[in-house]
Amino acid sequence: MYVKTYQRAKSFFGEFERKPGDHLTTHYCPGCGHGNLHKYIAEAIDDLGLQDRTIFVNPVGCSVFAYYYMDVGNIQVPHGRAPAAATAIKRAHPDSLVISYQGDGDLAAIGGNEILHAANRGENITVFFINNAIYGMTGGQMAPTTLLGQKTITSPFGRATEREGFPLRVSELLATLEGPTYIERVGLFDNKSRMKARKAVRKALRNQVEGRGFSLVEILSPCPTGWGLTPTESCEWMQEKMVKQFPLGVIKDESASREGWNRYRQVVPAEKLPEILDLTKESTEQFTPTDVPGCYRNPSIKIAGFGGQGLLFLGKLLAEAGMRHAYNVSWIPSYGPEMRGGTANCQVNISTEPIGSPLVSRPSVLIALNRPSLDKFEPEVASGGLIIYDSSLIDRAPERGDVEVIALPATKLADEAGSARAANMVALGAYLGRTNLLDQTGVFKILEKMTKSEDQMAINRRAFDAGARFAMF
Ligand SMILES: Cc1ncc(C[n+]2csc(CCOP(=O)(O)OP(=O)(O)O)c2C)c(N)n1
Ligand code: SF4
């Protein structure tokens, strides 16, 4: 006997957080198209067997709520920026299935630039573009796709060409570019159109899996709330009005000729990088990893103080030295327009694990060289972390009782070593003296290359030693 079982797609959460206890309804308005589309996408992901490799990029708009329903990797991004984030994710993880899920306000207004360039680059991502001709989430303002004559709260007399210009046909616009592989417009107003939408969703996802490049499906989707219509009236309005402005069908399809087009798999072999980046003249000598006590391993470090105190230099030195010890490293600076005198910090990760983000928002180590930095970053330090602060300049001790603290008279010790400006080297000595994170001889070799004169190097050494002696157990 043939038995057909209908069940929820595995790529959906069993419990919807916004509606606890209710497995059947979402929080979308009755008649909204998002629910249909979520379903088609979730089923396609199931069938592709890629739930554990799917990353859904949710920007701003009603689309953002997809993360309450899709049981896949979710990342929320600022308004309009999903194609940029999706690009980065796909390039970093070519084996993942990356979905950019965007409304028309998001994609065609604030994010118009992003989508244009992602499409033009032919990124191997899938974009679902939910065109409901209005800003739904914020109460029904005019979108670039709003129809002529359509009343919204920001076009109360109806959209008029002389005031608001023409509705933007994004899919046709993108199809003029060489980059995109597949662009189709579908609708969600009757069973036939929904089945076509379902098919297009699958094709766009499959294209990505097969490395065929950029696919975008524009989905004309009802927004009864924004339109002030019932769900049934909305479907009629779509058929009568919307489809005339946005004709359905395949707008561009080069899927067949773009087999194996996924150029991001053509990764440059690691051994070729030094040559390509012209690093062959640099020493690539590797240093022997040290024996680091467990609590000091894989640090996320924030080094903060005034511009001119050598914070960025210190961070770069740590990152370079970490790299030569075969760790994964990252370094990013953060400073105001005033490079000298203003507050600045840099963030460094040194890890045996791959580094997901260079941002250090919960440092395990804070090196604070002025009072504003200690005030600002002390609360961020992870419990069990380490704070080293310049007690010659900072007139208060950290208040945290759950972190290790070194009150280091860095500027005073640097002054005694020959220059107050070498306080950063005192801090480095103290940090490495306490943690044994890196091989000191190796660090000095790099420092020599980065230091302009022998006199300066002599001061650096003395300052480093003073810091190390001070902090060593
Ligand atoms: C930078 C920024 N600007 C404006 C907003 C306000 N805002 C939130 S949602 C939205 C419009 C979303 O419309 P659309 O992308 O069409 O999605 P829908 O809600 O219709 O699904 C706007 C302008 C915001 N959150 N962030
Ligand atoms: S406002 Fe419109 S797009 Fe948003 S949930 Fe309601 S019907 Fe859907």
Q: What is the DSSP track for 368-421?
A: E-SHHHHHHHGGGSPTT-EEEEETTT--S----SSSEEEEE-HHHHHHHHT-GG
Helix axes 454-471, 410-417, angle to 10 degrees: 140
Q: Which atom of ligand 2 is nearest to the CA of 222?
A: 7
Q: Which atom of ligand 2 is nearest to the CA of 33?
A: 8
Give the residue whose CA is nearest to atom 1 of ligand 2.
Answer: 136
Give the residue whose CA is nearest to atom 12 of ligand 1.
Answer: 61
pLDDT at 161: 96
> Does ligand 2 come within 6 angstroms of the Cβ of 225?
yes
Distance 204 CA to ligand 2 centre (A): 24
pLDDT at 444: 96
Burial 188-219 (b: 16+ CB within 10 A, else e): bbeeebbebbbebbbbbbbbbbebbbbbbbbb
- In a 3-state reduction of DSSP, which class is residue 457? helix
Percent of the chain as helix, strand, coil, to the nearest 5:
40, 20, 40
Pocket of ligand 2, candidates 32, 58, 68, 135: which has the most ligand atoms within 8 Å of its Cβ, to mutate?
Answer: 32
Q: Which of 410, 383, 382 is CA-nearest to residue 468?
A: 410
What ligand is nearest to the CA atom of residue 18? 2
Distance 110 CA to ligand 1 centre (A): 9
**Domains of the chain, first to last:** 34-264 (3.40.50.970), 275-471 (3.40.920.10)
> Does ligand 1 come within 6 angstroms of the Cβ of 32?
no
pLDDT at 339: 46
Distance 27 CA to ligand 1 centre (A): 17
Q: Which atom of ligand 2 is nearest to the CA of 130?
A: 3
What ligand is nearest to the CA atom of residue 104? 1
Distance 233 CA to ligand 2 centre (A): 15
Burial 8-24 (b: 16+ CB within 10 A, else e): ebebbeeebeeeeeeee
> Does ligand 2 come within 6 angstroms of the Cβ of 132?
yes
Q: Which atom of ligand 2 is nearest to the CA of 136?
A: 1
Distance of CA 358 to the CA centre of its chain: 11
Place of tokens 């091989």: 439
pLDDT per residue of the chain (473 residues) written in tens, 0 to 9: 777 777 889 999 888 776 667 767 778 899 999 999 999 999 999 999 999 999 999 999 998 889 989 999 999 999 999 999 999 999 888 999 999 999 999 999 999 999 999 999 999 999 999 999 999 999 999 999 999 999 999 999 999 999 999 999 999 999 999 999 999 999 999 999 999 999 999 999 999 999 999 999 999 999 999 999 999 999 999 999 999 999 999 999 999 999 877 665 566 777 887 788 776 766 678 898 899 999 999 999 999 999 889 999 999 999 999 999 999 999 999 876 544 456 789 999 999 999 989 999 999 999 999 999 999 999 999 999 999 999 999 999 999 999 999 999 999 999 999 999 999 999 999 999 999 999 999 999 999 999 989 999 999 999 999 999 999 87
Helices (H), 32-169: 34-48, 82-92, 104, 112-121, 161-164
> Does ligand 1 come within 6 angstroms of the Cβ of 59?
no
With beta carbons less than 8 A apart as the criterion, state whether 342 and 307 touch: yes
Distance 402 CA to ligand 1 centre (A): 42
What ligand is nearest to the CA atom of residue 105? 1
- In a 3-state reduction of DSSP, which class is residue 465? helix
> Does ligand 2 come within 6 angstroms of the Cβ of 437?
no
Distance 66 CA to ligand 2 centre (A): 12
> Does ligand 2 come within 6 angstroms of the Cβ of 224?
yes
With beta carbons less than 8 A apart as the criterion, state whether 131 and 169 touch: no
pLDDT at 343: 75
Distance 73 CA to ligand 2 centre (A): 23
pLDDT at 266: 60
> Does ligand 1 come within 6 angstroms of the Cβ of 138?
yes
Q: Which atom of ligand 1 is nearest to the CA of 223?
A: 20
> Does ligand 1 come within 6 angstroms of the Cβ of 140?
no
Q: Are strands 249-253 and 182-187 parallel, antiparallel or unpaired?
A: antiparallel
Q: Token pair for residue 67? A: 């993360």
Pocket of ligand 1, candidates 64, 107, 138, 242: which has the most ligand atoms within 8 Å of its Cβ, to mutate?
Answer: 138
